[in-house]
Amino acid sequence: MGADGPNGGLISDQAGNLYGTTLGGGRVGAGTVFELSPPKAQGDSWIFTLLHTFEGGADGERPYGGVVFDQAGNLYGATSLGGGSKNCVDLGNAGCGVVFQLAHPTRAGGVWTEHILHRFINGTDGASPVAGLVIDAHGNLYGTTIAGGTFNGGVVFEIKRSGASGVWTRTILHSFSGTDGANPYGGLTLDAKGNLYGAATYGGSFGCAFGNSCGLVFQLQRPSKQGDPWTENILFAFPSGSQGGANPYAGVVLGSNGKLYGTTEMGGFIAYPTCNYGCGLVYELSPPAQPGASWNENVLYEFKGGQDGALPAGDLIFDKKGALYGTSQGANPDGGLGTVFRLEP
């Protein structure tokens, strides 16, 4: 009944309890959702509580991303596998993933109850949601899949509760075709107007030094009229060379200055011995002077594959002073296993 392999980030409630997921562990090794509560006495260990263990079937398997809260304290997330669909043979035929809700118990110490909001079938609805979800002020959920969709390049989806009966419905907001992005491994960010921002790991400019394409950063603009389609705007396509970075596996974060910040797993100005195609970088994107033009990239830091780490693939976070925090994988010759870093303005 243990848990192992935490991959997604954590969230906290007002009491300081932390919530997250693990890729493996649980009764059949299909992953879990857990809670960590602060110790009752200083110096004691935090208290671990297993909220849900996935069974690897219709209820989902292997949640890569974390979870989010709604205003009632319910938890929402996605699993990359499971759900029961037989249309994902290349994913181990365990299903194409699900979006789930864990309903908060009605009494203290009660059991959290799982509800499946959508099962992906590798059709136009997409397949294999790897990133976590974001939730807006109305309780609508947004996420990405790395496969499926009209062009098999992944999708951006919305799941919302509607009607008197509270039925959850799924809507595809965008299906990636390649030149407009493909395979978004990272999650989404909402701005104050309800527009969505994210990064497609592949797609965009072809002829990339590291493969077919280097990826891009996009915006999905919320329609002014309900029922109209969302509009994709390509904000920045990573160039075919290595200097501007390539293949963002993480999403982007929106700064208070209106700029976007993220990481690329590869690329950089110099190919270091420990990274054949560059060790990755942290970038900043500034809005253009002319609306509709490409955003302007500024490389904030280039990893060298030494004690500073390499190949950053996780999301960034800000502190109150504007410093950025993130993680990198290890690629240094001393056998390092990764770093946690801070970038100060």
User: How does DSSP classify residue 241?
Assistant: S
User: Which residue's structure tokens are 């990064």?
Assistant: 199
Cα(237)–Cα(224) distance, integer angstroms: 26
What does the pLDDT read at residue 323?
93
Instruction: Confirm if 283 and 269 have CB atoms less than 8 A apart.
Output: no
Instruction: Confirm if 19 and 11 have CB atoms less than 8 A apart.
Output: yes
Answer whether residue 221 is part of any domain.
Answer: no
Token pair, residue 162, equals: 């509607």
User: Which residue's structure tokens are 């240094």?
Assistant: 332
Answer whether residue 107 is part of any domain.
Answer: yes
Answer whether residue 79 is part of any domain.
Answer: yes
Q: Give me Rg for the CA atoms of the chain.
A: 20
| Phi, psi of 24, deg, nearest 5 | -120, -165
Report angle CA 257, 260, 263 to the nearest 5 degrees.
Answer: 140
What does the pLDDT read at residue 273?
67
Answer whether residue 119 is part of any domain.
Answer: yes
Answer whether residue 296 is part of any domain.
Answer: no
Cα(70)–Cα(104) distance, integer angstroms: 10
Among candidate residues 183, 173, 55, 162, the one with its CA nearest the CA of residue 117: 162
pTM over 0.75: yes
Q: What's the number of domains the chain is made of?
A: 1
Q: Identify the domain containing residue 112 by its residue range.
A: 1-148
Cα(73)–Cα(103) distance, integer angstroms: 8
Half-sphere exposure of 16 (CA within 13 A, CB side): 6
Instruction: Confirm if 144 and 186 have CB atoms less than 8 A apart.
Output: yes
Answer whether residue 165 is part of any domain.
Answer: no
What does the pLDDT read at residue 209?
63
User: Which residue's structure tokens are 């609805």?
Assistant: 125
Tens of pLDDT along the chain (345 residues) come to: 556 677 888 899 999 999 999 988 888 888 999 999 999 888 889 999 999 999 988 899 999 999 999 999 999 999 999 998 888 866 555 789 999 999 999 888 889 999 999 999 999 999 999 999 999 999 999 999 999 999 999 999 999 988 767 789 999 999 999 999 999 999 999 999 999 999 999 998 766 766 678 899 999 999 999 889 999 999 999 987 667 889 999 999 999 999 999 999 988 866 666 777 788 999 999 999 888 888 999 999 999 888 888 889 989 999 999 999 999 987 655 556 788 899 998
Answer whether residue 59 is part of any domain.
Answer: yes
Answer whether residue 306 is part of any domain.
Answer: no
Query: Which DSSP string do the residues of 109-138 spell out, in sequence order?
Result: T---EEEEEEE--SBTTBB---S--EE-TT
User: How does DSSP classify residue 175?
Assistant: E
Exposed / middle / buried, residue 74 (Cβ in 10 Å: 0-12, 13-18, 19+): middle
Cα(187)–Cα(315) distance, integer angstroms: 8
Exposed / middle / buried, residue 341 (Cβ in 10 Å: 0-12, 13-18, 19+): middle
Half-sphere exposure of 40 (CA within 13 A, CB side): 2
Instruction: Confirm if 81 and 128 have CB atoms less than 8 A apart.
Output: yes
